Structure 1
Amino acid sequence: MIPAHRRWLILLVGLLAMTAGCTFQYGLAYLIPALRHEGFTLEQASVLIACPTAGVMLTLIAWGAAADRWGERLVLATGLGLEGLVLVAARWAHGTVSLAVCLVLAGALGGSVLASGRLILGWFARHERGLAMGIRQMSQPIGIGLAGATLPALGAGGIGVPLVYLGMFFLVAATAVVVLVRDPDRQPAETPGERPASASPYRTPVLWRIHVASALLTIPQFTVGTFALVFLTDARSWSAVAAGRLLGGAQVFGALARLGAGYWSDRSGSRMRPMRIIAVSTGVGILALAGAAFAGSGLAVPALLFVGVVAVSTNGLSFTAVGEHAGPAWAGRALGIQTTGQNAVAAATPPVMALVIAAAGFGASFAAVAVLPLVAAMFVPIAAERADPAAASGGRADPEPADSRA
């Protein structure tokens, strides 16, 4: 048995690891000036910025399968440690190709973090998991904020120092995993009344429906996240500095929204009902944004902020639901599939939406995007969640955390 404070310490280590991953994957854009200072063109810099995401998508499912087999502690420590070493070594990479290879490799190793989540499923009871996963999902806004606060200054003389900084961040996180993290005891292979551990949860459509709904909800999230600054400067005539400050502050509320959604799901005993309500709210909010954009109304700004906060709040709910329905034997692979789909859609959204906005304008583009969260709401499998209490408890009849049985 481990005390409650140790479980929350393990969660904080997971948050540290995820923050390191998000600082690297989503924060490299802050190094574009440093890359251009070293002679890379804007096109070359854009390719390099996309390399970590490309690497992540190559290995997420494999890392998830490794976590199912050997536990998350080994997988996290290995991936984080090797990623840190690769980034430190990338300081001496010369040319676009060699640097791109290092960044793709680092991203591939970083998939070990993004495919994780089994620790929360094992150490936290169902009534705690939504909040715990919400804390874990705060890593994205924290990582982006940390990147914005540190990487531009560190990159004043080039990209060498920022790469070493990111590498050391991963090495510190890997050390924390080795020292402080413990995998929960493995559950028996089968318990009467439960799905056999060897049976694939993908034999029913529940996980597929969650994956589809989550992928659709990624599109409004990344549409607003990518083009909010452009909308405020081009359509509302804001200065880039003022728009950046406003959107930076909104990141704080986005992180709190993830916490609130997780807490709501714990108290209501459902992941899917809050997810559907948030999906509908996102669609309605984007419709309001589209209408305000068409009319040239100042109400577009509060509508934009509302969507920017609400659209990100389902991430923890879907992640928790996937892990709970998949059960201990399949959680890693299912979470890997979930994250791969979301990353693929996220990578495609900015270039596609840029073409749509250029052709149709902001109002029509937002109106088209508003349909997607409403469709996603129809895919959310609320009835299946009510009919499968064992899956709702993470594939176990006993919903208590593993430390109560250790």
Structure 2
Amino acid sequence: MSPESIGRAGRWSIVVVALIATMCSFVFINGIAFVIPMLETKRETNLALAGLLASMPSFGMVLTLFAWGALLDRVGERIVLTLGSALTALATFGAASMDSLVGVGAFLFLGGLAAAGANSASGRLVTGWFPAHQRGLVMGIRQTAQPLGIALGATVIPELAEHGLARALMFPATLCAVSAVACAIGVVDAPRRPRSAASGAELASPYRDSKVLWRIHISSALLMVPQCVLSTFMLVWLIVDTHWSIAAAGGLVTGAQLLGALGRVLAGRWSDRVRSRLRPVRSLAAAGAVAMLALAAADHLHSPLAEAAMVFAAVITVLDNGLSSTAVAEIAGPYWSGRALGAQNTTQRLTAGIAPPVFGALIGVAGYPIAFALCALFPLTALRLVPVYAEPEGRSALAALRTLRVPPGSPPDSTAHP
């Protein structure tokens, strides 16, 4: 199947396959967080150590995200998605075979090295196959992979963990193996001119003489802190601190993630309508800070609204991811978007690796309300870093981005007006 034979329906089917593959990778990346209650009760593992184990996939991802992005710029999305999913499956099967937590952690780290490919590749498929006036919406749909993956993990893994860690890990391992086959069959690389036909301006580094991309990377990493803290500790908070059953807590986590998935789609559509990616990001940063402070206050006061505040915070703190990734891919252009998305995801996953053990230790010493309140400082800091000045004044930011580094005909209708 060639790019020329792909119609509108074909583009959507490709994105759906990539979304499923990315969702499966997030079941692996975030799944270990859902065995923390079992580790605490059956293996007597403290929260800081459990948080470190949950962070091992993110630490692995940090080391290879840029390398996967560079490979993506060279060989395309299909190979990266297929290879990354297959290697993630092998590493997770290896983790399931280990008896010691040290061995499990080592294989989770290796799985993170492999899982890094799916994030950048699926994001670049969106910018390669869809015109700018649809990218916010489509990237929002693609970004549902993370909350859907977390929701699926929260629904299935806690119950499996009651029968042992190995049983719980077999679930993401099997999903990633199936997704590797699906990517090999169903993904087609987005059309773009060969590098030999590109101009010097198109091949030039978007990081040269500009701090715009770096400001997006850093602000996104800061916004990641409350997101990964909540995704890691929401389940154990519900079970241990508010005394919910495993099934009920898993159901609430699943519901919050599904709301987050819907919210990402709406945020993407919002960015298309206002013709800006970065102004909505700044608004969401302010809302995230307020949500974390409200959660801290509700938990401290033992308010009956604490669970509702937790759900609201879990939803609002995930809505910026797709917008930032879309802005990065558009600004970087087709010949640098793989590496730029790799850098974007590297800063985010580094945060996701550091935050859970640090905040796990903080929760153990100071409690959840203090930890939630401190989380609010990170989106407040991000507010000043989001480079909204980079978006053109007096004209559509998307119209400008359509002509920036995007060669004619890539994708076929990339010059269409909103």
TM-score range (shorter-chain normalised) is 0.7 to 0.9
Question: Mind listing any 5+ residue stretches in structure 1 that lack a counterpart?
Answer: none
Partner of 2:291: 285
Partners of 1:326 and 1:394 within 8 A in 2: no
Match of 2:185 among 179, 182, 185: 179
Q: Which position in structure 2 is the counterpart of 1:392?
A: 401
Q: Matches of residues 159-308 of structure 1 in structure 2 within 5 Å?
A: 159-187=165-193, 195-228=201-234, 237=242, 239-241=244-246, 242-293=248-299, 297-308=303-314
Kindly state the Cα deviation for residue 177 of structure 1 after the two structures are TM-superposed.
1.4
CA–CA separation in structure 2 for the residues paired with 1:49 and 1:154: 17
Give the TM-score normalised by structure 2. 0.83
Q: 1:110 aligns with which of 115, 120, 143?
A: 115
Question: How far off is 1:32 after superposition?
Answer: 5.6
Is 2:9 the partner of 1:17?
no
Percent identity, aligned pairs only, is 41
Q: Number of residues paired by the alignment?
A: 402
1:316 aligns with 2:322: yes
The residue that corresponds to 1:51 in the other structure is 56
Q: 1:207 to 1:135 in 2, by over 3 A?
A: same
Equivalent in the alignment of 1:68: 73
Q: CA deviation at 1:271?
A: 0.5
The answer to whether the 8 A contact 1:328-1:394 is kept is no
Give 2:87's match in structure 1, choosing from 79, 82, 85: 82
Whole-angstrom distance in 1 between the partners of 2:81 and 2:292: 37
Letter in 2 for 1:259: V
**TM-aligned CA deviation for residue 335 of structure 1:** 0.9
Say whether residues 1:8 and 2:18 are aligned partners: no
Unaligned 5+ runs, structure 2: none
- Offset, 1:125: 0.7
Contact 1:121 1:394 in 2 (8 A): no
Relative to 1, partners in 2 of residues 1:283 and 1:51: Cα closer, same or farther, differing over 3 Å? closer
TM-score between both structures, scaled by the size of structure 1? 0.86
Secondary structure in structure 2 of the residue aligned to 1:210: helix
* Structure 1 pair 230–79 and aligned structure 2 pair: CA distance change class (3 A): closer
Written as runs of structure 1 = structure 2, the 5 A alignment for 1:131-170 is 131-154=137-160, 157-170=163-176
- Please say if 1:341 is aligned against 2:347: yes
Q: CA–CA distance in 1 between the matches of 2:107 and 2:120?
A: 20
Distance in 2 (CA, whole Å) between partners of 1:300 and 1:364 is: 14
CA distance in 1, matches of 2:101, 2:295: 40
